[in-house]
Amino acid sequence: MTKRSQLEQHDQQIVSCRKCPRLVEWREEVARVKRKAYKDQEYWGRPVPGFGDPKARVLVVGLAPGAHGSNRTGRQFTGDASGNFLYPALYKAGYTNQPTSESRSDGLVLQDMYITASGRCAPPDNKPSPEELNQCQSYLERELEIIDPKVIVCLGRIAFERILKIYSVRNPVYKFAHGASYPLENGKWVLCSYHPSQQNTSTKKLTVEMFDTIWVKAGELSKRN
Ligand code: SF4
């Protein structure tokens, strides 16, 4: 079975998941009530699978869907402020065919990159509980197994801690810091970045220049032997 068909099978499992009652209720409630600006759109309202190049050397891990972003559009970082900051940077670095990401049918293609998240359902206040993230972990583990990336870029501390947990890393030297990278098993690397949330970008905690360095570094690490 090709990596693509393994991922398609995996995605079907993800989108039908109802393991976390609080999140099922929230994601569906948001999809029912909608934000005024999107009242004519049909919200996705389900878990959001990963997407991208099945043979990617770079895998990006975010936190969880935004209520009116990917919970609305059904694709990672699509239709919200975080995505509006992320995709121009990825385009500049050569990972996408276009700088925008608005809907599942907008023609966006990822090259040598796969984008996924620690949690697949939109959480209230953008905060999944540790138990919910634990419930969801097996989906990320399976993607890592299928794709077998060389570099894992963690957008935010929560994604970084999840990756350390998955790879059973307990080394105190592995600390979250923007731009920090550490070796994992089998020649893999984990690379940390601040999350491109509006809170971080509007306060300049994360600038365009700081974000650009992440994708240059990811490219360098992905080509290392
Ligand atoms: S967060 Fe993950 S485990 Fe929980 S319901 Fe959504 S997809 Fe399932």
- What was the pLDDT predicted at 17? 98
Q: Are 89 and 55 spatial neighbours (Cβ–Cβ below 8 Å)? A: no
CB burial of residue 204 (10 Å; 0-12, 13-18, 19+): exposed
- What was the pLDDT predicted at 174? 98
Alpha-carbon span 93 to 96, nearest angstrom: 8
- What was the pLDDT predicted at 43? 98
Nearest ligand 1 atom, CA 128: 1
- What was the pLDDT predicted at 72? 98
- Could you tell which of 11, 13, 16, 18 is best to mutate to test the pocket of ligand 1, judged by most ligand atoms within 8 Å of the CB? 18
Q: 173 C-alpha to center of ligand 1: Å? A: 31
- pLDDT tens sequence across 61-90: 999 999 999 999 999 999 999 999 999 999
Is pLDDT above 80 for 225?
Answer: no
List residues near ligand 1 (CB under 6 A).
14, 17-20, 23-24, 47, 119-121, 132, 135-136
Alpha-carbon span 209 to 128, nearest angstrom: 29
Mean predicted confidence (pLDDT) in 177-204: 98
Q: How confident is the model at residue 11 (pLDDT cuts 50, 70, 90)?
A: very high
- Could you tell which of 17, 118, 143, 162 is best to mutate to test the pocket of ligand 1, judged by most ligand atoms within 8 Å of the CB? 17
Is pLDDT above 80 for 14?
Answer: yes
How much is the mean pLDDT over the chain?
98
Q: 212 C-alpha to center of ligand 1: Å? A: 31
Q: Pairing between strand 58-62 and 151-155?
A: parallel
